[in-house]
């Protein structure tokens, strides 16, 4: 269904986007805490389990957030096909990389303390499709490939930098209300049924 920016559907989509981004941010913060704890207790099986899960949750929610952004950018509620999703994510990743390099060139400090030459011109061509496939295997669907065939550590080593750069860019826009959460309609109202 098509909609217009500023109408009721758009307002509801923005609420859903805020909620999804908060979930993404919560997962990233949980992952970072576990990652730091693992440096002190690297053989702790429970922490290793949590690290995987929190990172899978982070990828899942960030991917869903990006697809929600696609819907808003195209003012259409339909689910885009995987080619449209991949193209959108690649465009966004490359735009963020270009903007980071340009900001550093203009003297704006980089949030990751990188110089502009540490940001590649473009993300690897398979980045978006790998992001989608790993998100589906590790956080979306129960599949035998999760245990060995899809090495999550390979994804992290190869693509975490790109996901992190995109996430930080999104955080500057969608994370602003973090100190005082906005009213999220049903996501806020749900608490009423568990406190009475």
Q: What is the pLDDT of residues 12-47, one digit of tens each?
A: 999 999 999 999 999 999 999 999 999 999 999 999
pLDDT bin (cut points 50, 70, 90) of residue 178 is low
Mean pLDDT of 45-52: 93
Q: Which residues contact 116 (CB under 8 A, 6 or more apart)?
A: 100, 101, 104, 105
Question: Other C-beta atoms within 10 Å of 119: how many?
Answer: 21
Measure the CA–CA gap between 98 and 13, rounded to whole angstroms: 28
Measure the CA–CA gap between 166 and 89, rounded to whole angstroms: 9
3-state helix, strand, coil in the chain (%, to 5): 70, 0, 30
The pLDDT of residue 146: 59
Q: Which two tokens stand for residue 17?
A: 């986007």
For the chain, give every domain's residue range.
8-195
Mean pLDDT of 183-191: 75
């Amino acid at each position: 269904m098509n909609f217009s920016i500023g109408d009721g559907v758009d307002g509801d989509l923005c609420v859903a986007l805020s909620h999804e981004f908060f979930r993404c941010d919560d997962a990233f913060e949980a992952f970072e805490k576990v990652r730091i704890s693992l440096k002190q207790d690297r053989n702790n099986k429970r922490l290793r389990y949590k690290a995987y899960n929190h990172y899978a949750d982070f990828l899942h929610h960030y991917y869903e957030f990006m697809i929600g952004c696609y819907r808003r950018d195209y003012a259409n509620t339909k689910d885009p096909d995987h080619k449209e999703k991949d193209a959108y994510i690649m465009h966004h990743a490359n735009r963020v990389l270009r903007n980071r390099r340009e900001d550093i060139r203009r003297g704006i400090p980089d949030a990751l303390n990188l110089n502009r030459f540490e940001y590649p011109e473009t993300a690897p061509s398979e980045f978006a499709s790998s992001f989608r496939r790993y998100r589906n295997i590790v956080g979306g669907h129960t599949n035998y490939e999760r245990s060995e065939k899809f090495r999550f550590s390979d994804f992290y080593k190869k693509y975490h930098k790109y996901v992190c750069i995109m996430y930080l860019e999104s955080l500057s826009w969608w994370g602003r209300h973090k100190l005082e959460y906005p009213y999220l309609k049903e996501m806020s109202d749900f608490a009423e049924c568990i406190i009475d």
